[in-house]
Structure formats: C-alpha cells, structure tokens
Amino acid sequence: MANSNSIDRRDDLFQVFEGTIPHGFKSDFDESLFNGKAHRTLQSSNKWYSFHLLRRDKQRVLASIHFCVVDGIALSPVSAPFGSFEVSSVVTTEQLFDFIKFIEERLNKYGAEKITIKFPPEKYDVSNHNKLSVLLFNHHYHIYQAELGACLQISKQNFIDVIESWERRKLKQSLKADLNFKIIPMSRLNEIYNFILACRVERGHTLSMTYRELNTTVKKLKSHFVLFGVYQSTELVAASIAIKVNKRVLYNFYSAHSKSSDSLSPIVFLISKMYDWCGTHRFNILDLGTSAWGGKPNFPLIDFKLRLGAEPSMKLTFEKTLA
C-alpha cells in the first residue's frame, strides 16, 4: 500500500511517499548497508514501513527512512548499528520538518506509541546530522542514548604522520617486528571470528553477535565485508572484520589482538594498514566504532582511538512518545 502527500505547495514537485519507491526513481544519496532491504530483512521478518521524499519531475528520492513496529515501538533500526534518515544535500529544512510530521502521523495509525531513531555517527554527514537533530528536537524528541564514536578521516597524509608521538613509537616498534598484513578470504570467517572472540574473552569481554548470526549476514551480503589479519611469521596476532557501510565509509566492526602480542602493538599496525587500504579503495572514513563496556564509556579505548588521529563523533539515539 502506498500513500503520498504534497510537501511543497509552491510548485507541487515534491511529495512524501510511503511504500516501495516508484519505478524509475533513483536515490539522490548513497544508501547505507543497514538501511538496505536485504539487511532490513535480516533484522526482522515483520513488516517494515518505508517513507520517502520524492522529487517527481526529476524522478529522484531525496530522503528515506524505514521503521519496523515491535510491541508498539517504531524502530529505526530493529537491530543494526544505526538506521535513521538518508538525505540528499538538496533537501530543505522545511521539507525535512514536514517529512518528520508525516512519518509520525502514519506510524501512529499503525499502532506505534513510541518512535526510536538511532543515528549514524555525526562524522558520516555533519551537516545533515546537525540539521536533523535540531528538527527532531523541534518535534519534541529527546536523546535516549548518547555514545561516543571515533572516525578516522582518510587523507593523502601517511598514517605515521597522522598519529600522536606515543602511537608513532608503537608503530615503528611493530614495523621492526616484521609483522605481515593480509586480506583474508571470506571462507576463513569462522577462524577470524573465533580468534577475535578468544581475544575478547581473555580480556573479560565478548561479542554482540554469535558466529551463526554473523555468518547468516555475511552469506547474504558478502560483498560488504572485508577480513584483515596481522601475522608474526605464521601466527595470527591481530584481526578485523570490517564492513563497507557505503561507498565512503569502512566500519571496523570487530577487531582484537592477542594478549601475548601486546609488546608488538599489532593493533596499531593493523589500523595503519586499514587506513592505507581505505585510501587505495577511495573510502573517506574509517569508522573505529564506539567505545563502551556495559553502557559506560571505556575511556582508555576512546583515548587510544583519538591518539590514532581519529576525531570524536557523537552517535545519538532519539526517542519520542506519541500522544
């Protein structure tokens, strides 16, 4: 079922639209993996409600967001690092304001008593992040959760010139240890997952996904995943499971190194090679993720990421109870 309504009365070219994007329309933004239909289907088999802002004359989708209503809560996403709005740079603040109002009215009719929207890290798109945050405040949303992420901007500078002096010493130390960096085939996902899990467990932590859950996702979205490894001779000492979020962002989803290799600083070496890989493959951002354990900031981990040249990035979740 599709519903639409004019959102710009001046020329009637813009329309808010609910449902599957009409045939012939193309998105005017780079859709993230987590908002794509394939990933949404993995998150929940329940009905998803999709809302779009269309420009009819140019057959362009200027904004989109997707919700799944679970126990009276409209969630974007159900289970993913983020959902939220995808927005073209040409959308006006007035159009977005009216778009949010339309969405609320429709979700209320579908039985939603509350709306929860998890934003991507601010650094993905600072302009739209700030604009949308203020508009949600204007619509009486509040911040339900605030996390601190760290995003490393990829530039023409060498990684060793980006990081702080302490981490530079560590990197030089790892280079002297003759560590080897490799892109690992996806057929060895089980091995890499178990290595990272073991490294987490020996530090008293775990992973948010089971191997079965991760493998199901990878099987369906294989081209979006990359495995990286660091070896000392033939021994794996550090690894990363990374996700291509879109054409601009690589997300360091899971990474770890063994305690026995602490003196080699292999994680600094790993990030340096991932930085180089991003530059080669034209990614603008290496997202090092949020830094928290048990809902509280992990200050040493945050500081470590910032010493690697990453910039702090807000990751907010908004919530509103509907009347």
pLDDT of residue 134: 98
Does the domain spanning 3-147+316-321 belong to CATH 1.10.760.10? no
pLDDT of residue 2: 55
Q: CA nearest 180: which of 239, 262, 263, 259?
A: 239
Domain segments of the chain: what residues? 3-147+316-321, 155-283
Contact 285, 32 (CB under 8 A): no
Q: What are phi and psi of 297, to 5 degrees?
A: -60, 135
d(CA 121, CA 34): 13
pLDDT of residue 8: 46
d(CA 252, CA 241): 6
pLDDT of residue 152: 98
pTM of the model: 0.94
pLDDT of residue 296: 82
Q: Is 308 helix (H, G, I), strand (E, B) or coil?
A: coil
pLDDT of residue 13: 87
Q: Average pLDDT of each block of 10 consecutive residues along the chain (323 residues)?
A: 50 86 95 98 96 95 97 97 96 96 96 98 96 98 96 97 95 91 98 98 93 97 98 96 98 96 94 98 97 83 96 97 90
Superfamily of domain 155-283: Gcn5-related N-acetyltransferase (GNAT) (3.40.630.30)
Beta strand pairing status for 179-184 and 225-232? antiparallel
pLDDT of residue 3: 61
Do 3-147+316-321 and 155-283 show the same overall fold? yes
